[in-house]
Structure 1
Amino acid sequence: MTDAPSPSAASVLSDTELAALDAHWRAANYLAVGQIYLMANPLLDEPLAPEHIKPRLLGHWGTSPGLNLVHTHLNRIVKARRRKALCVWGPGHGGPAVLANSWLEGSYSETYPDVSRDRAGMGVLFRQFSFPGGVPSHVAPETPGSIHEGGELGYALTHAYGAAYDNPDLLVACVIGDGEAETGPLAASWHSNKFLDPVHDGAVLPILHLNGYKIANPTVLARLPEDELDALLRGYGHDPLHVEGDDPATVHRALAAAMDRAVDAIARHQQAARSGGASGRPRWPMIVLRTPKGWTGPAEVDGLPVEGTWRSHQVPLPGVRDDPAHLRMLEQWMRSYRPEELFDADGRPTAQVLDCVPEGAARLGSTPHANGGLLLRDLPLPPLEDHAVRVDKPGTVLHEPTRVLGGLLEDVMAATAERRDFRVVGPDETESNRLGALYGATGKAWQAEILPTDEHLARDGRVMEVLSEHLCQGWLEGYLLTGRHGLFSSYEAFAHIVDSMVNQHIKWLRTSRRLHWRAPIASLNYLLTSHVWRQDHNGFSHQDPGFVDHILNKSPEVVRVYLPPDANTLLSTADHVLRSRDYVNVVVAGKQPGFDWLTLDEARAHCARGAGVWEWAGTEDGSREPDVVLACAGDVPTLETMAAAGLLRRHLPELAVRVVNVVDMTRLLPHEEHPHGMPDAEYDALFTRDKPVIFAYHGYPWLVHRLAYRRAGHAHLHVRGYKEEGTTTTPFDMVLRNDLDRYRLVMDVVDRVPGLGVRAVAVRQAMADVRARHHDWIREHGTDLPEVADWVWEG
């Protein structure tokens, strides 16, 4: 909270303040235009010539003047109020504006000393923009002060709220473009205010910037009558403040007054909740800012209107290098900002331009909250021994793995009760996913009405449930990027909803890992459960294991995928991913009762290897290579593989069977393609070079082929997995429908071990007979065959 006195909501800018704000805004506009067009002559010391112009003009002008205006006025608020602030820049290609402001305030030059805040540095700033070897045209990890990729249309507001949760002193401004406002995720994001605790959380100030157009079309919200738009935003629970105009002085005064009123209202709400005992949900302020698209740019080009239309979206003067008339217009445009008043002879911003700029870490480009790794503390994880299940004999005792994990997460939540830097998010499924133990340490965040029949709702809760995967993902990303920890729990099939969001986060991590100044952040951890093989209540619509395939297409240095087969391996995996940094970790684990295979010590060793032989499960004697390898990844495939191994032990005891379990799917890749990948010698030793490998896999079988296609033994690899055969049925019928069942695996062994087909024809026939009998049994009894339902490991 600020220690400075709050100005009256009716405060008026003095002429001196107005002139300083306008000077800063003009300077930022000048720098934005220069980045799009110029590769030389940054201060216009000489008339513009074609050789000063970039050969390829890439970038976006239309949104830049509005973003520059907001940045200028946020500077004023931060400096006058001494507020800790962060801004999330939502419009997709606002890079020229945010880079310009970062350079003006000096944070850019401190981050990149070769882009000095003078004539030479301005030249570098201009040339590098959208230029080979330079920087992207949008806000990106390379941009100081950013936590939001410019291409992530629709996610700005949810990122802003994620940054504000458990950050009580932070003001998070969020500029929402009117094109972005048309997306589904952004429409849902307005409901984030129902989860914002005025006591323990910071504040979000949404600034809906309506400039009227997208690339080539008008925007919906900009064309709504003001009373209809106002009613919509009030219906979302906000108190909108409207600022509109195209006269700079008038807009400056109106925006300053609106920001004063908004920040005053935020302070009142927080004071009422923190000291006055108010418990109702505040009606938080927001600003609706209407300014022309491409404001202050060319009004007309080649007889067509540009300023205030969609034609200003990208490059208003596209023919500058070849058309002398366009070149003259560009020079007139840039000189209209009067750069000689804004920069001294050496290209440094004048004192007037910098009058509104805060200092040090208060600058928007220097806030540590946008470089969350600087604030990150290690998560206090409990000893796994406190939660491990006892395994005296493998495959005889059942536990629900995610319920066991829930106890560990409860301890983590309790251990972070004071520091408040750990949250669990999910779409209405925490209890369903067997993580209900969390409610022993915290409730579910909720600021709306609470009824006597409700359970676990709490104003200060740190479990967050909302039936929007987009919000869950965005909240957690904003939370992690600002230096905290978390876990996203979801039904496996619906993780796909955030495919594009995780794409962007992976790209962010990949880029940020290459920036020396960005400190590592806590990993984005997914727990995917209620998985494809056990959708007893929901059936085919909820059966899709393909999120893993999507993740494994992405940057190898960032992505990890784990399929722990039982409760203890899930504990060990969770301990690892919660400690990790700068990764996207996907953990797939069942919530239904499953067999315990490994003790805690065995689980730790197995997880450290990522893949290994379960010697006790096979029938190798060490005197020769195995006749066949039974491999598995995932809890249900492991069960079926173990049952198949037991059948082979009974029916074909002379067969040398090796059982290999894979926890870390990236181990299947060559070491040259992934840091966790196995060298060929290690892979060959585990799976052999020429023996049949029957691989029972949790998801789509072709993924395993894609990961292992370069291995010497790939021609001998046969994979069973999910192949889009599903319905509401019994657990065993699901695996049988997809040919992943134990009897099919035994048949595969008979079919693929050389010479076994003739010798073991009776065994194969017996397996086929059980499969046929199963079909009739479940239709008569509604349950699985007794030999399946009552099976335990007897090895």
Structure 2
Amino acid sequence: MQQAARQAQPEHTLSPEELRKMNAYWRAANYLSVGQIYLLDNPLLREPLRPEHVKPRLLGHWGTAPGLSFIYVHLNRIIKARDVDMFFVTGPGHGAPALFANTWLEGSYSEFYTDVPLNGEGMRRLFRQFSFPGGVPSHTAAELPGSINEGGELGYSLVHAYGAAFDNPDLVVACVIGDGEAETGPLAASWHSNKFLNPARDGAVLPILHLNGYKIASPTVLARIPHEELESLLVGYGYTPYFVEGDAPERMHQQMAATLDRIFDDIAAIQRRARREGAKERPRWPMLVLRSPKGWTGPKEVEGQKVEGFWRSHQVPFGEVRTRPEHLQLLEQWLKSYRPEELFDENGAPRAELLDLAPAGPRRMGANPHANGGLLLRELDLPDFRDYEVEVPRPGGALNEATRTMGVLLRDVMKRNAAACNFRVMGPDETGSNRLSALFETTGRAWMAERLPEDLGLSPDGRVMEVLSEHLCQGWLEGYLITGRHGVFSCYEAFIHIVDSMFNQHAKWLHAMKETPWRRPIASLNYLLTSHVWRQDHNGFSHQDPGFIDVVLNKKADIVRIYFPPDANTLLCVTDRCLRSRNLVNVIVEGKQMAPQWLDMDSAIKHSTAGIGIWEWASNDHDGAPDVVMACAGDVPTLETLAAVDVLRQLVPSLKIRVINVVDLMTLQPKEEHPHGLGDREFDSLFTTDKPVIFAYHGYPWLIHRLTYRRTNHKNLHVRGYKEEGTTTTPFDMTVRNDIDRFHLAGDVIDRVPGLGYRAAHIKQHLRDKLIEHEMYIVEHGQDLPEVREWKWPY
């Protein structure tokens, strides 16, 4: 067993010349970082600094930048010395000045942005654009070469890094974790990703915990616990932590070089044991803890107050540079302390000896193709989804668990792409519960931790990833997709809310990526939300929440798609469509319980392709205008709508009813708002311009109003959906509690269709009595009425 923790001692790993050059490269990166935050012009200080050379609004984060650049230059040395395929994940997301600086220094930035060349004018543009209108953001984002994470929110760097390393055996992902970021829940769980990383077939992740001591205005937890306690924590997570600590540049460079050599020796040894010697046990992967001052090499004090090594250096160490001459002088002294005349030639380009330190071509971390995963994306080998058809002799004439059928399709997707190693399914311990257990016929659950003889289905080579952290499932999949692979995330509907914020950041990433010309399209993020709000028979109120859909709809229309397949055949069509799509977030909401099947495959293809349509077989308005339109979206709302139609046909045979089913929720929006939206004329032809519309919807009812408020007939639209009424009860009672059951829907029709006259009172009383009968029956028998449980579409 390897030693649990190691303290690297200063060694003379670097020759005096190597040390001089690497320190110069680091000074250049720090100079460029400061310049981005402060300067509008005069980038090389070829003339005295004047107020107009300084940006009117000083934005950005300095504190973490020198540490990031220190790490970057040392990783460059490792890449060149060992020919390592590596890229850089920036956990301290607002450390972007350092990453813009380093990608510009290595030349990759200018290749992607030819208007920012590697000379003095390019430096001026690099400075001007940073956190400036029409420029680039102050945090890592899709616009930054080499980045795979949206750095505006902390906590996701390490899980993204592991997602990138899965199935990439030759890749090393260096992930810098800020000590503020380390306080977040997702990051705390991410340490356990090492229990899923197989050294025989996956790449390596090098976590680098950067302790600079402070957040925006207070200390960080991990920087203020004793060394022994921190070491024990990291050893307990399963790592061999190496420590590099100090503030003297020369000593730190030597210590860092020696430590990284040892770490990469460890990584090579772990992979050799697994790949050549067949070692099966979980290795203790190395990691690095770098303790350096916040705002290292910046002003030590400003107006008598501590700055370097303190929280005051977190963002802009001092402001009012345009209006206070002493601050202008301080900025000039700070910039000149890096001796730019030694670093850049007469044209403003980095001197040749600095350029020689950077790797070449795709070995540069800003140009690594894994960080632009669309370059590496291979199409999935997909089976023909029609081969999985559920036989439906007539509408409602078969029963099926829709997600079980989807699981069989996913099993074969997994099997056909096994050699390519580019497809995984994530889920929080619910793959079997969500009826996707057919996957286990071709793969196991990924697992590198200890295994017991009685364990079933755990495998180092498993391609189903289960862990009771939605954050890890989401983050692994994001890292996997952004680096050029495919996957599905299956989750209980109520608990997908845990990753609301992660979804939000990924959607923003996709939007920015689409506007970044050199970014190639990636496979879509596909959610399957099941075990949904209407069938939480034993879990009850805590598991009843369909609100993730509302969160998704806040994003840009060119990014999100939401599907409500009413049955298994439609689900197969939608699944195939989602797996083939690019640069989207697809949300599929589908129940897992045994339910009636409505459409044969031919009808399902036509219906899912259109996304919305009249169900002719359920409607009786063929010879004229309907008296009422009954619309539905979702499997349970569809069932209750059709049952309500049956009730109405029995009670009011003359009533003309049109049934509309919605698979693609986005069709309800105007086409000006969403690419799948219906034009007004088409929408009006479906929903009429003046007839009552009763809409049974899977989620919160106001969302349908939000999507349709501009439509002609919106005033006649009445939506039933989940209204936060729930408990542990029968399936049908859940619909009754939320007024979306067949009897309430039929009552809504009676209330809104004119011309029923005095008959309405008798019909309403009948419906009321059925609801009373229902309540009495479930209290006595603990299950739904036989006529509800056994109902079938009779026409």
Name the TM tier (shorter chain): over 0.9
For residue 370 of structure 2, what is the aligned residue in structure 1? 369
* TM-score, length of structure 1 as denominator length: 0.98
The amino acid of 2:138's aligned partner reads S
Give the Cα–Cα distance (whole angstroms) in 2 for the partners of residues 10 and 18 of structure 1: 12
Instruction: Measure how far apart 1:757 and its partner are.
Output: 5.2
Structure-2 residue corresponding to 1:722: 722
Is the 1:147–1:370 contact (alpha carbons within 8 Å) kept by the matching residues of 2? Answer: yes
| Partner residue in 2 for 1:503 | 504
> CA-to-partner distance for each residue in 1:385-407, whole Å, 9 max, x for gaps?
22110111111211000000000
The structural deviation recorded for 1:452 is: 1.7
- 1:43 & 1:60 partners in 2: Cα distance? 21
For residues 11 and 326 of structure 2, the distance between their equivalents in structure 1, rounded to whole angstroms, comes to 46
Q: Does 1:705 align with 2:705?
A: yes
* 1:62 and 2:56 aligned: no
Output the amino acid matched with 1:462. Answer: R
Question: Letter of the aligned partner of 1:720 in structure 2?
Answer: R
Matches within 5 A, 1:543-582: 543-582=544-583
The aligned residue for residue 415 of structure 1 is: 416
- What displacement does 1:9 show? 12
Q: Where does residue 685 of structure 2 map in the other structure?
A: 685
Q: Which residue of 2 aligns with 1:631?
A: 631
Give 1:441 deviation, angstroms: 1.0
Structure 2: distance between partners of 1:273 and 1:523: 32
1:432-457 residue CA offsets vs partner (Å, 9 max, x unmatched): 00000000111000001111221111
Which residue of the partner structure matches residue 42 of structure 1? 43
1:479 shift after superposition: 0.2
Structure 2 residue matching 1:527: 3-state secondary structure: strand
Deviation at 1:674, TM superposition (A): 1.0
Aligned match of 2:336: 335
> 1:728 & 1:380 partners in 2: Cα distance?
43
User: In the alignment, what sits opposite 2:439?
Assistant: 438
* 1:112-123 alignment, distance < 5 Å: 112-123=113-124
How much has 1:652 moved relative to structure 2? 1.2
Alignment partner, residue 621 of structure 1 = 622
Task: Kindly indicate whether the alpha-carbon contact (under 8 Å) linking 1:700 and 1:722 is maintained by their aligned counterparts in 2.
Answer: yes
| 1:674-712 CA distance string (max 9 Å, x none) | 111111111101111110000000011111011111111
- Cα deviation for residue 761 of structure 1 reads 2.5
> How far apart, in 2, do the equivalents of 1:675 and 1:164 lie?
35
Any conservation in 1 of the 2:74–2:256 contact (CA below 8 Å)? yes
Deviation of the 1:721 alpha carbon: 0.6
2:226 matches 1:257: no
Which amino acid is 1:451 matched to?
A: L
Distance 1:757-1:381 versus aligned 2 partners, 3 A rule: farther
Per-residue CA deviations over 1:386-432 (Å, capped at 9, x if unaligned) read 21101111112110000000000000000111110000001010000
Matching residue of 1:5:
none
How many matched pairs?
787
Counterpart check, 1:302 vs 2:303: yes
Q: Distance in 2 between matches of 1:77 and 1:588?
A: 47
- Pairwise CA distance, 1:765: 1.5
Partner of 1:318: 319
Instruction: Confirm or deny: 8 A CA contact 2:10 2:251 kept in the other structure.
Output: no
RMSD: 1.1
Query: Is the CA contact 1:619–1:649 (under 8 Å) kept in the aligned structure 2?
Result: no
Tell whether the 8 Å contact from 2:60 to 2:94 is kept in structure 1 after alignment.
yes
Task: Return the letter of the residue paired with 2:161.
Answer: A
In structure 1, stretches of 5+ residues that fail to align are 1-7
Structure 1 residue aligned with 2:591? 590
1:186 correspondence with 2:187: yes
Per the alignment, residue 158 of structure 1 pairs with 159
Superposed, 1:223-302 pairs within 5 Å as: 223-302=224-303
Counterparts of residues 660-699 of structure 1 (less than 5 Å): 660-699=660-699
**Which residue does the alignment assign to 1:3?**
none
Instruction: Find the aligned partners of 1:294 and 1:533 in 2 and give their Cα distance.
Output: 53
Give the partner amino acid of 1:215. Answer: I
**Which TM-score applies when normalising by structure 2?**
0.98
The one-letter amino acid of 1:130's match is: S
Counterpart residue identity of residue 723, structure 2: K
Deviation at 1:10, TM superposition (A): 7.0
The answer to whether residue 600 in structure 2 is matched with residue 599 in structure 1 is yes
Please tell me the residue identity of whatever aligns with 1:126.
F
Instruction: Give the distance between the partners of 1:534 and 1:559, measured in 2 at CA.
Output: 25
Contact 1:141–1:512 at 8 Å: present in 2 too?
A: yes
Percent of aligned pairs sharing the same letter: 66
SS at match of 1:719: strand
Query: Is contact 2:427–2:465 with CA below 8 Å preserved after alignment?
Result: yes
Q: 1:329 to 1:615 in 2, by over 3 A?
A: same
The equivalent residue for 1:643 is 643
- 1:203 maps to which residue? 204
- Give the distance between the partners of 2:69 and 2:319, measured in 1 at CA: 22
Distance 1:422 1:757, change over 3 A: farther
Return closer, same or farther for 1:10/1:274 CA change in 2, 3 Å cut-off.
farther
Q: Which residue of 2 aligns with 1:4?
A: none
The residue type paired with residue 589 of structure 1 is E
**In structure 2, distance between residues paired with 1:661 and 1:276:** 58
Q: Kindly provide the CA deviation profile for residues 696-740 of structure 1, in whole angstroms up to 9, marking residues without a partner as x.
A: 000111110111111110110000111111111111111011110
Cα shift at 1:759: 2.9
Residue 350 of structure 1: aligned partner:
351
Instruction: Provide the residue aligned with 1:753 in structure 2.
Output: 753
Which residue number corresponds to residue 731 of structure 1? 731
Alpha-carbon distance in structure 2 between the residues aligned to 1:390 and 1:152 = 47
**Deviations 1:492-540, CA, capped at 9 Å, x for gaps:** 0000000000000000001110111000000000000000000122011
Contact persistence 2:10–2:254 (CA under 8 A): no
Deviation at 1:92, TM superposition (A): 2.6
Q: What does 1:118-129 align with in structure 2 at a 5 Å threshold? A: 118-129=119-130
Distance 1:14 1:232 in 2: 35
Query: Which residue of 1 is the match for residue 131 of structure 2?
Result: 130
Q: Which residue of 2 aligns with 1:790?
A: 790
1:561 aligned partner, one-letter code: I
Secondary structure of 2:758's match?
A: helix
Q: Which residue of structure 2 lines up, in the alignment, with residue 743 of structure 1?
A: 743
Are the counterparts in 1 of residues 11 and 254 from structure 2 also a CA contact under 8 Å? Answer: no
Q: 2:12, 2:254 within 8 Å by CA — same for their partners in 1?
A: no
Corresponding residue for 2:653? 653
- Distance in 2 of aligned mates of 1:758 and 1:100: 79
Amino acid at match of 2:296: W
- Alpha carbons of structure 1 residues 212 and 412: separation in structure 2 relative to 1, 3 Å: same
Q: CA deviation at 1:224?
A: 1.1
Distance in 2 of aligned mates of 1:528 and 1:402 = 10
How far 1:555 moved relative to its partner? 1.0
Partner secondary structure for residue 77 of structure 1: helix
**8 A Cα contact 1:23 1:352, kept in partner:** no
Q: Following TM superposition, by how much is the alpha carbon of 1:650 offset from its aligned partner in structure 2, in angstroms?
A: 1.9
TM-superposed deviation, 1:11: 7.1
Residue pair 1:693, 1:716 contacting (<8 A) in 2 also? yes
Determine helix, strand or coil for the equivalent of 1:150. Answer: coil
Look up the SS of the partner of 2:498 in the other structure.
helix
Per the TM alignment, residue 760 of structure 1 is displaced from its structure 2 partner at its CA by 3.1
C-alpha separation between the residues in 1 aligned to 2:675 and 2:303?
Answer: 55
- Equivalent residue, structure 1, for 2:543: 542
Structure 1 residue 354, shift from structure 2 partner = 2.0
Are the counterparts in 1 of residues 532 and 546 from structure 2 also a CA contact under 8 Å?
yes
Conserved 8 A contact 2:484-2:523: yes
SS of 1:658's equivalent?
A: strand
Asked whether the equivalents of residues 154 and 185 of structure 1 are also in contact (C-alpha less than 8 Å), the reply is: yes
CA–CA separation in structure 2 for the residues paired with 1:109 and 1:751: 67
What is the identity, as a one-letter code, of the residue corresponding to 1:452? P
- AA partner of residue 352 (structure 1): E
Contact 1:20 1:355 in 2 (8 A): no
Q: State the secondary structure of the residue aligned to 1:42.
A: coil
Q: Deviations over 1:263-299 (max 9, x none)?
A: 1101100010011011110000000000000000001
Cα distance in 2 between the residues matched to 1:465 and 1:621: 50
Which digits, 9 at most, give the CA deviation of each residue in 1:566-607, with x for residues without a partner?
Answer: 000100000000100000010000000011100111111101
